[in-house]
Every structure is written in C-alpha cells, then in structure tokens.
Structure 1
Amino acid sequence: MGIIEKQPIDYTQHPRVNSDDPIPPRPRPQVPAHVIRSDEEAIVVARRLAADFAPGAALRDREGLLPIAEIDAYSQSGLWGINIPKAYGGPGVSYRTLARVIAILAAADPSIAQITQNHLAINGHIDLDGTEEQKKEFFGWVLSGLRFGNAFSELNSKNVAAFETRISFDGDEAVVNGEKFYTTGALLSHVIPIVAVDAQEQGYLVFAERDTPGITVTNNWSSFGQRTTASGSVRIDNVRVPKSRLLPVAAFDRPTIAGPVSQIIQAAIDAGIARGAIEDAIAFIKTQSRPWIDSGKETAGEDPFTIAAIGDLKIKLHAAEALLGIAGEAIDVGLENPTEETIADATVKTAEAKVLTTEIAILATNKLFELAGTRSTLAKHNLDRHWRNARAHTLHDPVRWKFFHVGNFYLNGINPPRHPWS
C-alpha cells in the first residue's frame, strides 16, 4: 500500500517550534502513496491514523515537536489525494467525506489536520484552473506521495488579499521574489505553491519545488496555539520556476467551489478540536474529578449540573457536525453544477457550519476546565492545548462576518463574496 512502517520516534532529532534557523527539505518518499478507493475506505484510514496520532499529541504540543513521522505516514496513507478526480487516478471522494476525515484527524491532533488544509485546497484549485498537462503532472506528484505546502499570506501587507510578492518573466521562466508568513505545511512539503502577482496585478500559483535555490523556510511560528503546524516563514529570493508550473489564480473570477472548500476544511478542524476536548473532559470527569460538596454524590459524573452541561455540549457538537455534513453535500452539488445559485448555496451553508464549529470549539475547550475542576489545569495533563488550539485556529477568518453574509443572503438576496475566506 505504500504506507510507511512505524518506527520508534526519536523526538530528540525533531526540529523545535519558534526557531529562526532554516530547515532543510524532507526527503521524497521512496514508494508511491497508497490510493484510497472509496469514501468508506477514507473514513477507515482516517480513524486508524487518528488512533496512532492521538497518544503523542500532548507531548508534541508541550515540547514543540514537529509531527514529522506522523505526516509521512499521513501522506503515504492516500488521504492527501482523496479529492483528486477519478479521471486523474484519484478516488474523488465527496466533500462531505473529506470534511469527516479532517474532523476525525483534528480530534486526535488538530495541528496535523491543519497541515493538510492547504494541500487539499490546492488539489481543488488544480482541478478548477489547471491545464490538462498540469493536472496530469501535479496530480501525479500527489499520487506519488509528494506534499504541497503553501506560501500565500504575508505578515505586513494591508490585508489578507494584498500580495506584495512579485513575479516577473525571463524567457521560459518565471522569477519570484517576496516573503510569506502563516505558511502552514511548507516546512514539511516537497512542493511549495507560492502566490505572486505580476505588474498587472494578475495572481499566480507558482509551483516551486521545496529545494529550489532561493527558497528558505524557517519554523518561526510562535503562536500559543496550533504550535506544531510549522506555520512560519518562507523567503523567496529570485526563485526561478518554469512557466509551465504557473497556475493563474482564476477560480474566484467565476462561480466555483474554491472558497467553500477552503472554508469547510477550516470548519472541520474546529469541529475536531471540539470533539477532542469533550472526549477528554468526559474521561477526566470519570477518572479524576471530585464531586462538588453540595451535590451529595459519590462521583463527579453523578453531579446533575455536570451531566446537563455535557449533554448541552454534545447537542451543540452534533448540530455543528450535522451542518458540516450539509455544507459538504452543497459543495458536492456545486462541484457537479457550478452556477451562481449552487455556489452561493454552498458558500452560505459552509459559513453556517463554520459559525457553529467555531462556537462549539471555544465553548467546549472552555467548559472542559469548569466541569473537570482545578486539577485539570495542572501542566502534566496539558489540557489547555485544546483551548489554545481552538482560540488560535478559529482566528483564521472572523466568524462575525459569517453572520453578516448569511443574513444578507437570506434577507436581501445578496450572494456572499468569492474568495478563500468566504
């Protein structure tokens, strides 16, 4: 199947977070990745990997250890190619299934789930905007086990859509210069798609190999949450790439699923964070929490207020997960029949899901401590990683704007904007 065998992990050799030292590229896989064959297999593989990843999640977060062996196993499992169309050798699973896969993995370790986010979104962009030759080449890379990172956002630009990274042309080559931040996945990738604009402000995805001269990747990500996503910096100094590896950023110029796909993956990560926090809260209450003195109960799990609170969390989680599934189905409709109506519907439903996944992620990770009690805050448990991850990841784009766009759609018939954050 091409899945890397599990070996004892020597964490002493792992790069640590928040370092300005450049990190060399990862070796390419020696065997092709496994190819998932069905939606059902994708779920089975995700659950198996989640069971492997969960036990080390707290240690990796506490020590700032990058999930190198885990990401190798993850990409070799075939899950990084699940939205490659069948016509190009992939399984073409539904986006409902893709969201479930990400949520399952995020419940185990949301940093690992987030590292996949840009790769899967890029798969979608290739399908939407690539030439036939590019689809065959780029999808072939993924099916062989190569990983896409990203060099999209910039730290000091006016807003998230203002790009200062520039591209010029020299014969059959493009030359790129700039600096990127929030580059989740780039450090552990084999190919880094770089967003750059030309003199006419036309945007391109420039597919540069990770070891291309002029690319420097540093792990200077210092956030208190999602600590092991390696979302640091990429410096691009006169990087030369063949023009054949340039993909125009055109998916937002017409109705496509590009925006909802990016957003549903973000929402799925938050749903997974919430589920992981609730599961840990239940386990802690059952095994380590003490009943409150006024309850008259023998165990914390018999406290009626705790029971009701867990019920409330589960209801809200299931509502968020249900909306996530509805959004995935709407995206699948938009993929098959991209019109103004179907894409607006997919965008709105995905926004609704993201509102609920954001709310339950923040609520569940906060309630964990209220219900589990003071001893749950002890450093040895590292349960605060759930809240830190939720608080950091839900900042990806402001959910307050989701309320506005959803309301404007239903009240005034105005479709939401088309961009990666909508």
Structure 2
Amino acid sequence: MNVAVDARTLAPENPRGTPGPTRSPVPAHVIRDDAEALAVAHRLATAFRAGASERDRASVRPLAELDAFSQSGLWSINVPRAFGGPEVSYRTLARVIAIIAAADPAIAQIAQNHLGIVAAIRTVSDEAQKRLLFDEVLSGIRFGNAFSERGTKRAADFDTRFTDHGDHVVVRGEKFYATGALLAHRVPIVALDDEGRAWYAIAARDAPGLTVLDDWSSFGQRGTASGTVLIDAVRVPRSHLVPAWKGYAAPTADGAVFQIIQGAVDAGIGREALDDTIRFVREKARPWIDSGLERASEDPYTIQAIGDLTIRQHAAEALLDRAGLALDDAVARPTAESVAAAQLSVAEAKVLTTEVALAASNKLFELSGTRSTLAAENLDRHWRNARTHTLHDPVRWKYAIIGNHALNGVNPPSHAWS
C-alpha cells in the first residue's frame, strides 16, 4: 500500500503546481453502521502503521493510503441517512479518527476538513445541493481545503473573494495551511462575497487557475502537505457554492465538529507515543545503574510515570467520548444551549488531548533513554507531530472559554475554532 508521492520531487522541479490525483473507477464502499466504521478503521490503521515512520522520514505523501482510506467508506460516515449515508455518531467518528491518527496522524488530519465540510453541507445547503454533493462524497470524492491565509491580521480574516457571474462564480486569492488540497479531488475555497460573507467555493482540483504548491516545510505532520494554493480566476459552478456563513449565523454544531476531529487526532498521537514508550522500555531500555534491577520496566519511577500518562490518556479519551455524545445531541437538536454544551465539552477534550499528546511524546525520551533518540528509531516524529498539530488553535483560550462559562454563564463564540 505504501505507494506514495515523494514531496522532495515536487515543489522545486514543479513550481507551477502539482496535478491532482486520479479518481478510482470503482465507487467507494458505503459503511453500514458504527460497528463497521470502527472495524474498518482498525483494519486500515494496521496497514497505515506499517509505513508511517518511513513516510515521515522520507517526506512522502500518502496517496495510496488516502485512496484506501476514502474508498473504504470512512470519508462518508457523517453523510445523513436521508441521503444514503451511514450517519454514524460523532462519538464513533472521533474514535475512528483517533484510531487512524495513532497509526499515521497526517492521514487522519487530511480527512478533517473533508468531514467538516460534509457537516457544514448538512447544516447550510438546500436539498438539491445536499443531494448533489453528498452523492459525490458517497462515490469517493475527497474534499481538501483552501481556508486559511497568511498575512491577514486574524485567522478568520480573508482577502480571497469571488465575483458572481450568474451560473458560476470566479474566485481570486491565495491560501496556505491547505491540508489535503494536494491529494484532493475537489478543493473547497473560503471566499467572501460582496457583502463580506464567507462561502465554500468547491473547485475541481485541476480547474484552470487553481495551483497547488507542495511547499509545506514544517518539521511535523509532513504528510499533510499543508502548503499553498494559488487561485487565479478559478471558475466554480453555482451548484458548488456553499453558504458557509449560515453555519455561524445561528446556533449550529459546525465549529464543534471541526474541533472534535482536531482533538481526536491529538488523542491518537498521544496513544501511539505512550504505546511506543511502553514497547521501548520493555524491549530496549536499560535499567539505571543505581537501581539494582534487571529490567527498565521494573524501575519504580518509570512505572509511576507510565501510570500517570495512562491515566491522563484515558481521561482524554473519556472526555473525547463525552464530547461526541454532546455533539450528537447538538446536531440532532441545535439550540443555543445544546450547541454551547457541545462546544464546551469539545473544548475540555481538546485541552486534555493536547496536553497528553505533548506529555507522552516528550516523556518517551526521558523514560526510554538516549537510544530512543537515534534516527533509526524515528520516535521524535511523535513529538514533532504533536507539537505541530496542537498549534492549530491555542488551548489557553479553551481554558478561558470554559472558565468564562462556569463563572459568568457566557457561551463560547461561534466560529470554526470554537
């Protein structure tokens, strides 16, 4: 399965951008229920884990793995049943992402914006647009993203705009942090209309004027290829213009959906870092000279540290489950109260998943010793991935949201980072 695109061969020799992937001639599988979704996730994770370290080391893009992931049906698990989808619970969706992220967090993160867009379409699109776009998703279409921009004052400020031409719009701008765009079939572009409202203009990946540069140079989450998208008079049919602004004009769970997936990625990173720590201590680490012990795994200080990390990992996963239940309720009956409850539950989970991912990936080296830092082990990928991904939005503001609600009854703000 580990057929992939080598990032080092793309950007320098191909400054005009990288062509998009071909679509499978076979329609994607459609998952039946929550149990099948989890079973498929575990099966894929076993395959993805086998090549994850080498993909990270060589900076390759996981094209074959993404094809397997999207063809498996896991990219349509939140399509509503009324439109032919499985509509699994968000508790299950978060578990699926955490399972995949433990094997390869870059692959899990690439799915994040796709699943968030599917949720947004459910919230804001009319029936005809839902039918059209959900049919595409069920067939195996992958959405990337072209949301964020460099150089604006805040993350929610956009310079990208479109002009209306009746049956289509024309989009111009430039994006960065475009996770998934490189290997997507369609690229949703956040663009503003003349009234300053944000829309998702879902462009064909190889549309004229749409250029995806593989210039992602971060030390972590290398496989996401979250680089630059240039948008030069890209034509998008009106049928693929989704009114994103409606998702935040009234109480909806759209922001919490994006956020719970972020938390699930971090939970997966923490789980794998902890598991690799336990494996390394058992199999390769040496006991300290003063301990008088035969095995490093008998060191009482190591035992205590592993116990602490295990408790924190389980707590993070439990809060993620709790957040999924709150999110399911908010999706089913969106009110100011249910949406705020979902946002707060997701924020709590986000705090712990962030903290345990960073703690476990850092403690790994302290408990495993100098040998664990060798390039051959490549265990530093866990810390690099955790440190990179957890920068998506600052948990210090999650504490503020939770505390302000507890003290003053103030609901969280309504946007994609809350």
The residue number in structure 1 matching 2:148 is 153
**Among candidates 165, 171, 180, match of residue 170 of structure 1:** 165
The separation in 2 between residues aligned to 1:170 and 1:84, in whole angstroms, is 30
**Gaps (5+ residues) in structure 1?**
1-5
The answer to whether the 8 A contact 1:17-1:64 is kept is no
Matched AA of 1:302: E
| Deviation at residue 18 of structure 1 after TM alignment | 7.8
| Deviation at residue 19 of structure 1 after TM alignment | 2.5
CA RMSD of aligned residues (A): 1.1
The residue number in structure 2 matching 1:24 is 19
| Deviation at residue 30 of structure 1 after TM alignment | 0.6
The separation in 2 between residues aligned to 1:205 and 1:317, in whole angstroms, is 36
The residue number in structure 1 matching 2:49 is 54
The residue number in structure 2 matching 1:129 is 124
The separation in 2 between residues aligned to 1:133 and 1:77, in whole angstroms, is 26
The residue number in structure 1 matching 2:267 is 271
| Deviation at residue 243 of structure 1 after TM alignment | 1.6
The answer to whether the 8 A contact 2:3-2:64 is kept is no
Query: Does 2:289 match 1:293?
Result: yes
Query: Does 2:274 match 1:282?
Result: no
The residue number in structure 2 matching 1:354 is 350
Aligned residues: 414
The separation in 2 between residues aligned to 1:230 and 1:296, in whole angstroms, is 48
Query: Does 2:241 match 1:261?
Result: no
The separation in 1 between residues aligned to 2:261 and 2:390, in whole angstroms, is 12
| Deviation at residue 14 of structure 1 after TM alignment | 3.4
Query: Does 2:187 match 1:195?
Result: no
The answer to whether the 8 A contact 1:17-1:219 is kept is no
The answer to whether the 8 A contact 2:10-2:18 is kept is no
**Among candidates 410, 413, 418, match of residue 417 of structure 1:** 413
**Among candidates 350, 372, 376, match of residue 372 of structure 2:** 376
Is the partner of 1:117 in helix, strand or coil? helix
The answer to whether the 8 A contact 1:192-1:207 is kept is yes
Matches within 5 A, 1:89-108: 89-108=84-103
The answer to whether the 8 A contact 1:61-1:228 is kept is yes
Matched AA of 2:323: A
The separation in 2 between residues aligned to 1:17 and 1:126, in whole angstroms, is 36
The residue number in structure 2 matching 1:141 is 136
The answer to whether the 8 A contact 2:112-2:258 is kept is yes
Per-residue CA distance 1:52-97 (angstroms, 9 max, x = gap): 0001111000100111110000000000000000001110000000
The residue number in structure 2 matching 1:238 is 233
The separation in 2 between residues aligned to 1:251 and 1:176, in whole angstroms, is 21
Paired-residue identity, %: 60
The answer to whether the 8 A contact 1:18-1:222 is kept is no
The separation in 2 between residues aligned to 1:271 and 1:288, in whole angstroms, is 25
The residue number in structure 1 matching 2:403 is 407
The separation in 1 between residues aligned to 2:3 and 2:351, in whole angstroms, is 39
Matched AA of 1:19: A
The residue number in structure 1 matching 2:340 is 344
| Deviation at residue 17 of structure 1 after TM alignment | 7.9
| Deviation at residue 10 of structure 1 after TM alignment | 4.7
| Deviation at residue 156 of structure 1 after TM alignment | 1.2
Q: TM-score, normalised by structure 1?
A: 0.97
Matches within 5 A, 1:287-326: 287-326=283-322
Matched AA of 1:68: L
Matched AA of 1:320: A
Is the partner of 1:290 in helix, strand or coil? coil
Is the partner of 1:16 in helix, strand or coil? helix
Is the partner of 1:179 in helix, strand or coil? strand
Matches within 5 A, 1:204-219: 204-219=199-214
The residue number in structure 1 matching 2:79 is 84
| Deviation at residue 171 of structure 1 after TM alignment | 3.0
| Deviation at residue 207 of structure 1 after TM alignment | 1.1
How has the CA–CA distance of structure 1 residues 17 and 104 changed in structure 2, closer, same or farther, with 3 Å as cutoff? farther
The separation in 2 between residues aligned to 1:10 and 1:168, in whole angstroms, is 40
The answer to whether the 8 A contact 1:154-1:160 is kept is yes
The separation in 1 between residues aligned to 2:350 and 2:198, in whole angstroms, is 27
Structure 1 runs (4+) deviating above 4 angstroms are none
The answer to whether the 8 A contact 2:170-2:235 is kept is yes
| Deviation at residue 242 of structure 1 after TM alignment | 1.6
Is the partner of 2:88 in helix, strand or coil? coil
The separation in 1 between residues aligned to 2:223 and 2:264, in whole angstroms, is 18
Is the partner of 2:142 in helix, strand or coil? coil
The separation in 1 between residues aligned to 2:10 and 2:235, in whole angstroms, is 28
Is the partner of 2:60 in helix, strand or coil? coil
Is the partner of 1:116 in helix, strand or coil? helix
Per-residue CA distance 1:14-58 (angstroms, 9 max, x = gap): 343882531101001111100001000000000000000001111
Is the partner of 1:194 in helix, strand or coil? strand
Per-residue CA distance 1:96-136 (angstroms, 9 max, x = gap): 00000000000000000000000000000000011111111
How has the CA–CA distance of structure 1 residues 326 and 17 changed in structure 2, closer, same or farther, with 3 Å as cutoff? farther
Greater mean deviation of Cα atoms: 349-358 or 241-250: 241-250
The residue number in structure 2 matching 1:3 is none
